[in-house]
Amino acid sequence: MTDPTNPARTRPGNEPLVDLRGITVEFPGVKALQDVDFRLFPGEVHALMGENGAGKSTLIKALTGVHALDTGEIHLAGEPVSFAGPAQAQAAGISTVYQEVNLCPNLSVAENILLGREPRRFGAINGWAMRARAAKLLSRMGLTIDPGSALGNHPIAVQQLVAIARAVAVDARVLILDEPTSSLDAGEVAELFRIIRVLRDEGVAILFVTHFLEQVFQISDRVTVLRNGKVVGEHDTPKLSRITLVSAMLGRELGVLAEVERRTERRAADPAPLLVAEGLGRSGAIEPFDLEIHAGEVVGLAGLLGSGRTELARLLAGADRADTGRVLLDGRPLRLRSPRTALAKGIAYSSEDRKAEGLVSDLTVRDNMILAMQAARGWARQVPRRTADELVASYLARLDIRPANPDAVVGTLSGGNQQKVLLARWLITRPRLLILDEPTRGIDVGAKAQIQQVVADLAADGMAVLFISAELEEVVRICDRIVVLRDRHKIAELSGADAGVDDVMELIASGSTRVEVRS
């Protein structure tokens, strides 16, 4: 897209700080980036959008010198540059904050911010000066964190902000944020955005990668969309419609999304509940709550991060033990001692932490899919190879998993496909209640729509689904009933038909003060 008439190409009185021209990066067998032009201006927040595998990460890595360019050149403030690695890029003022916080939790906040460039006196680290410098930096960002406290004692969100502080500590002119919000709740995102705006107003050029459409419109000034390694659009955000953006990313009309968009008509759920929780609770995790789930309905759990969504789900799945209350399945009391007993009773739980609690990353797609089924049978009765192959093949097709190769090592798949493999693992056990904790987090729009569709289909077939998501739009769209949590309490239950995002948001916000960053 090098259309000179495109208003986004010309920005009066301003030269691009970063100008990538004709970038091509090839990996064996793949053109990860193909003739990509990309410009970043000082004092703008620029969102980089695209599905998984579109080339976002490759573009960032090409810019920061991680990947060598096959063709093309990089200009920084008008000068051609070439970085041999991230350290050189950083020295030139390009700092990157990755999705996962790469800091040392056992060191103090100040030490983390200034790691590798500690102020020294007589050859030793000057602790006093270090804390002072860190404190100055934090206050510039409007953060009230004690620089001397251990980083590990802070929540992930604060650690993320510290990572940003570390990135700007080197007088960064360009700040790259690679999915910084994927593990933050709404309040924390707001805090992050406030800081992003502060930095932007100081003239820092910010490149922002995210999967959340809402956030793109909230924070970004311009958007560049990548698809299959090519730039398919460069837009001013205010002039961009949501549909244009999504269809540019997907490269197809919005059939899939629209289909899920309409609330699926469903048969009336069974009058007798499948599962009832009475006063179920666990101290320090979730206050006692009541909950009914019927076969054929999708119940959503909404609330901020840390509101007890996951904790509630883990009690129902036997992953944690409740210390009060009881669970009835088909009206009969059920003692959930372990995930194993829950699975035996038809309750499957897909954890929010795909990497740590879901995938067995070194094993193949096949092994990952049949793991739960095999575990239920015990080690002595191996799932016959043919049964396994048939099941795996059918789910590869049904969930549109790519590559459709049962022998691929699961760790090499993209996030969306990994999530689908996990979904297949639980579906193979033929659960009666499927608990999905953030099944669409960090995956691309296409896979997200597919997973939402699968959830709707499963419910239509009579499965009960407990659906947890930080994205309220998604919860409202696909759930029949929404349970709202706040500060580890269940505070309300809405019927999906008359619930909108605003209603849920109001409930979550009601009576609670602004979410503050703890120090």
Tell me: does residue 412 bind other proteins (CB under 8 A): yes
Tell me: does residue 359 bind other proteins (CB under 8 A): yes
| Minimum distance of other proteins from residue 66's CB (angstroms) | 6
Q: Whole-angstrom Cα distance, residue 359 to residue 265? A: 33
Tell me: does residue 102 bind other proteins (CB under 8 A): no
| Minimum distance of other proteins from residue 466's CB (angstroms) | 15
Assign 393 to helix, strand or coil. Answer: helix
Assign 253 to helix, strand or coil. Answer: coil
| Minimum distance of other proteins from residue 68's CB (angstroms) | 8
Assign 414 to helix, strand or coil. Answer: coil
Closest CA to 106 of 151, 163, 146: 151
Residue with tokens 């004092």: 43
Tell me: does residue 197 bind other proteins (CB under 8 A): no
- Whichever of 111 and 320 has its CB closer to other proteins, that residue is 320
> Residue 396 CB: number of other CB atoms within 10 A?
22
Residue with tokens 């409202």: 476
Query: Candidates 90-98, 114-122, 171-179, 333-341 — which segment interacts with other proteins by CB under 8 A?
Result: 333-341
Tell me: does residue 149 bind other proteins (CB under 8 A): no
Q: Whole-angstrom Cα distance, residue 429 to residue 141? A: 49
Query: Candidates 140-148, 191-199, 270-278, 348-356 — which segment interacts with other proteins by CB under 8 A?
Result: 348-356
Tell me: does residue 343 bind other proteins (CB under 8 A): yes
For other proteins, what does the binding mask look like between residues 26 and 55, x meaning CB under 8 A?
-xx-x-------------------------
Query: Candidates 60-68, 69-77, 262-270, 294-302 — which segment interacts with other proteins by CB under 8 A?
Result: 60-68
Tell me: does residue 338 bind other proteins (CB under 8 A): yes
| Minimum distance of other proteins from residue 31's CB (angstroms) | 13
Tell me: does residue 381 bind other proteins (CB under 8 A): yes
Amino acid letter for position 61: K
Tell me: does residue 362 bind other proteins (CB under 8 A): yes
Tell me: does residue 389 bind other proteins (CB under 8 A): no
Beta strand residue intervals within 445-501, DSSP E:
464-468, 481-486, 489-495
Q: Whole-angstrom Cα distance, residue 486 to residue 75? A: 48
Tell me: does residue 150 bind other proteins (CB under 8 A): no
Q: Whole-angstrom Cα distance, residue 283 to residue 104? A: 30
Query: Candidates 112-120, 232-240, 363-371, 481-489 — which segment interacts with other proteins by CB under 8 A?
Result: 363-371
Tell me: does residue 334 bind other proteins (CB under 8 A): no
Tell me: does residue 248 bind other proteins (CB under 8 A): no
- Whichever of 83 and 289 has its CB closer to other proteins, that residue is 83
Query: Candidates 95-103, 245-253, 278-286, 362-370 — which segment interacts with other proteins by CB under 8 A?
Result: 362-370
Query: Candidates 101-109, 112-120, 264-272, 361-369 — which segment interacts with other proteins by CB under 8 A?
Result: 361-369
The structure tokens listed for 139 are 């206050």
The structure tokens listed for 20 are 């990538």
Cis amide leading into 403 (omega within 30): yes
Tell me: does residue 284 bind other proteins (CB under 8 A): no
Assign 164 to helix, strand or coil. Answer: helix
**Residue 38 pairs with which residues in a beta bridge?**
20
Eight-state DSSP code of residue 8 = G
Q: Whole-angstrom Cα distance, residue 190 to residue 24? A: 36
Q: Whole-angstrom Cα distance, residue 425 to residue 510? A: 38
Tell me: does residue 411 bind other proteins (CB under 8 A): yes
Q: Whole-angstrom Cα distance, residue 59 to residue 31? A: 12
Assign 474 to helix, strand or coil. Answer: helix
Binding residues with other proteins: total (CB under 8 A)? 41
Q: Which are the contacts of 418, defined by CB distance < 8 A and separation ≥ 6?
A: 354, 358, 359, 410
Residue of 14, 153, 283, 382 interacting with other proteins (CB under 8 A):
382
Q: Whole-angstrom Cα distance, residue 184 to residue 314? A: 20
Residue of 1, 132, 150, 376 interacting with other proteins (CB under 8 A):
376
Q: Whole-angstrom Cα distance, residue 84 to residue 102? A: 21
Closest CA to 427 of 459, 404, 386: 459
Query: Candidates 118-126, 134-142, 222-230, 344-352 — which segment interacts with other proteins by CB under 8 A?
Result: 344-352
Phi–psi pair at 470, nearest 5 degrees? -80, -15
Query: Candidates 139-147, 212-220, 252-260, 355-363 — which segment interacts with other proteins by CB under 8 A?
Result: 355-363
Residue of 7, 84, 102, 252 interacting with other proteins (CB under 8 A):
84
Tell me: does residue 425 bind other proteins (CB under 8 A): yes
Tell me: does residue 380 bind other proteins (CB under 8 A): yes
- Whichever of 149 and 374 has its CB closer to other proteins, that residue is 374
| Minimum distance of other proteins from residue 381's CB (angstroms) | 8
Query: Candidates 144-152, 170-178, 217-225, 338-346 — which segment interacts with other proteins by CB under 8 A?
Result: 338-346
Q: Which are the contacts of 510, defined by CB distance < 8 A and separation ≥ 6?
A: none
The CA distances from residue 20 to 5, 55, 87, 209, 285, in Å, are 19, 14, 19, 17, 48
- Whichever of 46 and 425 has its CB closer to other proteins, that residue is 425
| Binding residues for other proteins (CB under 8 A) | 27-28, 30, 66-68, 84-85, 317, 319, 338-340, 343-344, 349, 351, 356-363, 367, 371-372, 374-383, 411-412, 425
